[in-house]
């Protein structure tokens, strides 16, 4: 159900969306201007001038347009609309007569377009422009940018494909696949869907296109820094994949595009591959925060269960991509395991990427810190900030799903919605909850007329006990694939009360995860907690959690924008009592009783710098 | 007290010394032959031939001669003696008329001698030859090799120094400093002591000699891979040092040479520097095994408390160097803290470097393994195997110290010794003990005549309770600097019984050591234990040790050459019960009760390959 039909007025997301609109989108526009990304569209760059337009600058600008468009769709804002129009006008001017639209290959390396798909993000930038064009059209009803990106897509369709004279290439950084499916859905032109399918199916075929184009450039394919095309998911045909590998963001964007194609075509092989990849990712390669891709070396996956905390790469964009992919899988098969992943990433590893004031960003999201890792205003490679902006501006999209059968509530967020279910039933939804701080949810339904349909309420994977009442009477709903199903004739004023038991939990990791061995994480509901030195004067890394420690929870409205804080009695080593001693018999090593105070992981590094830890050793 | 006056007949060291003599020294000689190291001394290499003599080949050969000489000193062995004589004859022939003796610079790079002291180990090789020459003379009474190395040292003294026309250089890999002090002590010629002092005092002076010689070679000093001369302890003058840095073996050899100079000269600045370096090393940069130098990048030190277990470099040679250094410090100041380090390294991080059969060696000694780290027959850079051989062949040297004041017993090892104390008292010593498996020690003294002197019995740092009895009567000896002092008139047949309480201990690491946070190591007496998959079918990495688990100890004569095994009830995660699950609430995660079975760390990787862990998480 598109976010345009979902209004959030909760205390968790609504303020974040407002900060995103009022702070983040403005600040990012300023950065796009300051760094030359917008002016580069004037195509006035001359050799020797600084800055040199970069190969992926359009992607940053495009993601910002997409984010701003989403924001405009729910909150009219003349100033923001003017910024968007300014950029769109420049994009219109920057587009070539043939439809081509890429500053780098127009002014920095003219004549070299499509010569290095492997490394240079050309189709990736095109994909983000297409997403921006679709988003802008949906948000504003204007076809201006959509026409631009459609012309570009039409041109791309003349360049790539299996027909004689076309290049059998595909992009080293996936993105255009999912963008083309969006364009297909917006325009109804199956050419775009077919091109997306071509890009997916051609990927990883032998002989490798990246080998061929490298030789055409005069490069030795064997000198590829990443050694194999697993880095960009192009070592094997996509439908044969069974293990996540390589650059995590690229993988997520590819898998999202694959899921889109499955949704459109029902392709059973691609669906089976998706299922294999999902199991591999979520069973052995995902942080508890929904962060993925532990290695900085390839910004991506390494070996199963290799999930180091201090050095976790866990790029913000990768967690966002995980949301995109699992949201798509959820709409192929309404299974709570997909929504669980969406929720895990949304409440933890994605929004950790932005500061509470909306102005600073993490590229990497480690699960432990020695106090030296901090958010930054912007990055040379600035993919993450506008990616967060577009996620936040459209987060309402993840709350509900509608279908012939009825309505599914995927996430619990206070607000309203307008669905269409069971053919012709216009369904008003009002959700009242303090989720994620409280597990009580009230849903009031206002169908346009009394009608029988299913209401599917997601029972989160973290929840081990729940109660459902309809109009005050307990309802024993069967849970199917993670959703409690209440099927009945619904009428105006029907009220559903869902109570999700939400105790503080000690979470342990699979024994394969050596980094977390002997440690526990604290979680409550969907929120993963961490300890920071700001709350724990003994230092986050010196705290140990006794097995029998009892937790207490309190909501602190003035802290970190309003969060539930968890406390427990703990023990802390006292470095001062150790002096020069490096090893001691344990009975001689003094520890002191402390109150462990844990805050949501997503809110870390918003106060004075200090240590942080998610996984605590047992005392 | 030299090992030539100490005979060990215990069940721990004596069999190792025999294996060293019967297996290791033979196997290493075969490797020296097979790899061309011995034949290279014939100086017959021609360009294009393989193998090309390597810059540090002489050091391997020299350490082997030193080890073989030590062995010959206590165990006549015609076959071994013939091998030694064969090599010495080749060394005699390889020596130039001017005394120079280095194959690489004679046949591979003639005319280039002394052009790259920073990198090419030329004086390091000379130092090992000198050590070999001194050892051979002491062991056999023959001056053959001593004369060779003396001529070489005499030549070196004409090349290096502060006099006009001499090079103000020093070696990138320290070793010659301590060797020259040995040569001084053997010959009485103070020229060698002065040259050692020159090398120590010149080191790290500005302008840097390594800069100068690099420019003379046409190299840019700024292109030095290690960035600073901290790598070879030459960034700052030695007497200003206060933090261990750089390559760990180089540091230990330098510090040993410095201690030798302090012993000879009483230099207070060098002594103060030694004390600072000792505190920094032993307070923040040493594994519980006595392994040092955690980083493979520089084969050396990194940052304080950076002591990762799985990736520990902890080179065998560095632990051996730690023994050398602390033994020297002990003879400057009879303080148990130095003997504690000697003992820690001897029973753990040094002898872990050699397999029980004496034929395979570790270069790196990690404190955890995923089952892929194994000993090897030999190495291209083969410093560790002959270093272990010379340590084992001379280990008796560490047991006693003799002086005017009396006798100090530094280590408890069953055997006999012949000391000279209190001027003219020839003192027979008989030590009876099952140490390190048992803390009971009986010492029987047989002085040549009744005389008053001190018997100093080391009370190890790990021991928290001890009892001393003299001739069956409890003696309340004051403990000074880690030694219990029993001063009385000793006569033939006096018997001292020392009982060191030796329970199994849980040891914890300083909270600065993040790798060991929330974990405990198991130790008993001087021996650090580990768990191996060979004894723990659940896998070493899945085991957790409850805080209240009681240990039991049993000696198993047939296991790993005879070791005390420690068992305790523990818990193990069961990967099989996890399936595809990556995270679970802890109460849902099944663990099974297991019997943890720990063996001495030094004996690990002598059975089927598998995981190993020293630091166990708390259950």
Alpha carbons A255 and A244: distance in angstroms, whole number? 10
Tell me the mean pLDDT in the region A562-568: 98
Tokens coding A555:
């909501």
Q: What is the average per-residue pLDDT within A130-143?
A: 96
Choose the weakest-confidence range: A37-51, A581-595, B176-190: A581-595
The beta-carbon neighbor of B617 closest among A279, A284, A517 is A517
Condensed to tens digits (0 to 9), the pLDDT of residues B172-211 reads: 999 999 999 999 999 999 999 999 999 999 999 999 999 9
Burial letters for B210-232: b for 16+ Cβ neighbours within 10 Å, e otherwise? bbebbeeeebeeeebebeebbbb
Gap between the Cα atoms of A607 and A600, Å rounded: 13
Q: What is the pLDDT of residue B577?
A: 81
Coil, strand or helix: which one is A529? strand
Cα separation, B543 vs B32, in Å, equals 42
| Cβ–Cβ under 8 Å, residues A511 and B578 | yes
Helices within B509-570 (DSSP H only):
none
How many beta-carbon contacts under 8 Å exist across A and B?
125
Coil/strand/helix, residue A617: strand
Structure tokens at A527: 């929120």
pLDDT per residue over B64-84, tens digit each?
A: 999 999 999 999 999 999 999
- Collapsed DSSP state (helix, strand, coil) of residue A543: strand
Kindly state the average pLDDT of the residues A571-598: 89
Spatial contact of A88 and A26, defined as CB atoms under 8 Å apart: no
**What is the CA A21 to chain-centroid distance, rounded?**
18
C-alpha to C-alpha distance for A427 and A446, rounded to whole angstroms: 6
Q: What is the pLDDT of residue B575?
A: 77
Give per-residue pLDDT as tens, A424-464. Answer: 999 999 999 999 999 999 999 999 999 999 999 999 999 99
Instruction: Note every long-range contact of A159-168, with CB atoms under 8 Å and residues 24 or more positions apart, other chains counting.
Output: A159/A114, A160/A195, A160/A198, A160/A199, A161/A195, A161/A198, A162/A198, A162/A202, A167/A114, A167/A209, A168/A202, A168/A205, A168/A209
Distance from CA of A361 to the nearest CA of B (A): 27
Nearest residue of B to residue A307 by CA position? B582
Q: What is the pLDDT of residues A166-187, one digit of tens each?
A: 999 999 999 999 999 999 999 9
Span A334-370, pLDDT tens digits:
999 999 999 999 999 999 999 999 999 999 999 999 9
Are A574 and B511 an interchain contact pair (Cβ–Cβ within 8 Å)? yes
Candidates A391, A438, A444; CA nearest to A417 is A444
Mutation target for B interface from A511, A512, A517, A572: give the one with most B CBs within 10 A: A511
Can you state the percent helix, strand and coil of chain A, rounding each to 5? Answer: 40, 20, 40
Q: Residue B507 in contact with residue B522, Cβ under 8 Å? A: yes
| Residues on chain B touching A585 (C-beta within 8 angstroms) | 462, 464, 505-508
Measured between alpha carbons, how far is residue B53 from residues B29, B34, B58, B98, B119 in Å? 17, 13, 9, 21, 16
B338: left (phi over 0), alpha (psi -120 to 50) or beta: alpha
Phi, psi of A214 (to 5 degrees): -65, -45
Of B340, B280, B285, residue with least CA distance to B318: B285
Peptide bond into B107 cis (omega under 30): no
Pick the CATH number of B3-398 from 1.10.287, 3.40.50, 1.50.10, 3.30.70: 1.50.10
Residue A465's pLDDT is 96
CB burial of residue B366 (10 Å; 0-12, 13-18, 19+): buried
* H helical segments located in A360-490: 384-393
Cβ pair B284:A582 closer than 8 A: yes
| Nearest residue to A617 (alpha-carbon basis) of A521, A553, A533 | A521
Q: Which candidate, B575, B508, B506, B583, places its Cα nearest to that of B546?
A: B506
Q: What is the pLDDT of residue B476?
A: 87
Q: Indicate which of A307, A582, A591, A613 best probes the interface with B, i.e. most B CBs within 10 Å of its own CB.
A: A582
Closest CA to A107 of A155, A41, A31, A173: A41
Residue with tokens 């062991």, as numbered in its chain: B139
Model ipTM value: 0.94
Task: Say if the Cβ atoms of B580 and A506 lie within 8 Å.
Answer: no
Which one of the listed residues B177, B299, B343, B454 is annotated catalytic? B299
Residue in the structure block whose two tokens are 């791309």: A156
Q: What distance in Å separates residue A268's CA from the closest CA in chain B?
A: 23
Question: How far apart (Å, rounded) are the C-alpha atoms in residues B481 and A353?
Answer: 55
- Cα distance between residue B98 and residue B525, in whole Å: 52
**For residue A334, what are its two tokens?**
């309404």
DSSP H/E element including B339: helix B336-344
Nearest CB to A586 within list B507, B584, B586: B507
Q: Within chain B, which residues score under 50 in pLDDT?
A: none
B288, B541, B618 ranked by CB distance to A514: nearest: B541
From CA B350, how far away is CA B392, in angstroms rounded? Answer: 10
Q: Delimit the domains of chain A by residue range.
A: 3-398, 401-500, 504-617
Digit-coded pLDDT (tens) for A504-524: 999 999 999 999 999 999 999
Instruction: Give the separation between CA B580 and CA B569, rounded to whole angstroms.
Output: 28
What was the pLDDT predicted at B589? 81
The residue of B284, B308, B509, B511 whose CB has the most chain A CBs within 10 angstroms, and thus the best one to mutate to test that interface, is B511
* Residues of A catalogued as catalytic: 299, 383
Tell me how far apart the alpha carbons of residues B178 and B163 are, in angstroms, rounded to a whole number. 22
Q: Domain spanning A401-500: which CATH class is it, in words?
A: mainly beta
Report strand pairing: A483-490 vs B552-556.
unpaired
Nearest CA in chain B to A288: B583
Residues from chain A that touch B513, judged by Cβ atoms under 8 A, are: 582
- Chain A residues within 8 A (CB-CB) of chain B? 279, 282-284, 286, 288, 310, 462, 464, 505-514, 517-521, 539, 541-542, 544, 573-575, 578, 580-587, 589, 616-619
């Amino acid at each position: 159900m598109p976010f345009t039909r979902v209004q959030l007025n909760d205390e968790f997301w609504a303020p974040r969306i407002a900060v995103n609109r009022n702070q983040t989108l403005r600040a990012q526009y300023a950065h796009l201007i300051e760094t030359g990304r917008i002016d580069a569209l004037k195509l006035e760059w001359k050799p020797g001038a600084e800055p040199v337009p970069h190969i992926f600058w359009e992607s940053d600008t495009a993601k910002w347009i997409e984010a701003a468009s989403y924001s405009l769709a729910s909150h009219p804002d003349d100033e923001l609309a003017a910024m968007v129009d300014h950029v769109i006008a420049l994009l219109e001017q920057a587009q070539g007569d043939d439809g081509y639209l890429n500053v780098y290959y127009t002014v920095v390396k003219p004549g070299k377009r499509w010569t290095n798909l492997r490394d240079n993000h050309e189709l990736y930038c095109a994909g983000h422009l297409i997403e921006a064009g679709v988003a802008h059209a949906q948000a504003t009803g204007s076809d201006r940018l959509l026409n631009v990106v459609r012309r570009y897509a039409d041109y791309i369709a003349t360049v790539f494909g299996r027909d004689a004279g076309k290049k059998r290439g595909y992009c080293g950084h996936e993105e255009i696949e999912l963008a083309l499916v969006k364009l297909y859905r917006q325009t109804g032109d199956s050419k775009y869907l077919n091109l997306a399918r071509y890009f997916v199916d051609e990927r990883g075929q032998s002989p490798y296109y990246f080998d061929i184009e490298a030789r055409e450039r005069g490069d030795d394919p064997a000198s590829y820094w990443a050694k194999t095309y697993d880095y960009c998911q192009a070592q094997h045909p996509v439908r044969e994949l069974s293990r996540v590998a390589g650059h995590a963001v690229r993988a997520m964007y590819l898998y999202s595009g694959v899921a889109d194609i499955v949704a459109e075509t029902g392709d059973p092989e691609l669906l089976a591959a998706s299922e294999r990849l999902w199991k591999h990712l979520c069973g052995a390669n995902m942080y508890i925060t929904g962060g993925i891709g532990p290695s900085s070396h390839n910004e991506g996956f390494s070996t199963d269960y290799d999930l180091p905390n201090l050095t976790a790469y866990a790029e913000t964009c990768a967690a966002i991509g995980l949301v995109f992919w699992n949201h798509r899988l959820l709409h192929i098969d309404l299974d709570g395991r997909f929504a669980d992943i969406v929720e895990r990433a949304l409440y933890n590893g994605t929004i950790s990427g932005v500061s509470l004031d909306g102005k600073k960003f993490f590229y990497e999201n480690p699960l432990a810190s020695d106090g030296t890792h901090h958010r930054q205003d912007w990055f040379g490679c600035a993919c993450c900030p506008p990616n967060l902006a577009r996620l936040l501006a459209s987060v309402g999209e993840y709350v509900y799903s509608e279908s012939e059968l009825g309505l599914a509530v995927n996430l619990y967020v206070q607000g309203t919605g307008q669905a269409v279910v069971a053919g012709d039933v216009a369904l008003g939804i009002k959700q009242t909850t303090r989720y994620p701080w409280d597990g009580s949810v009230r849903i009031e339904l206002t169908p346009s007329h009394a009608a029988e349909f299913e209401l599917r309420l997601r029972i989160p994977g973290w929840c081990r006990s729940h109660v459902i009442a309809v109009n005050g009477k307990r309802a024993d709903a069967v849970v199917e694939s993670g959703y409690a199903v209440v099927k009945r004739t619904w009428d105006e004023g029907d009220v559903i009360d869902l109570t999700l038991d939400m105790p503080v939990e000690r979470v342990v990791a699979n024994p394969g995860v050596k980094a977390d061995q002997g440690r526990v994480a604290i979680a409550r509901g969907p929120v993963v907690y961490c300890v920071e030195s700001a709350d724990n004067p003994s230092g986050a890394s010196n705290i140990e959690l006794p097995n029998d420690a009892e937790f207490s929870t309190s909501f602190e409205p003035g802290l970190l924008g309003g969060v539930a804080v968890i406390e427990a009695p703990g023990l802390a080593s006292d470095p001062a009592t150790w002096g020069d001693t490096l090893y001691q018999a344990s009975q001689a090593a003094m520890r002191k009783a402390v109150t462990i105070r844990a805050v949501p992981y997503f809110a870390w590094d918003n106060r004075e710098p200090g240590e942080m830890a998610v996984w605590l050793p047992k005392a």
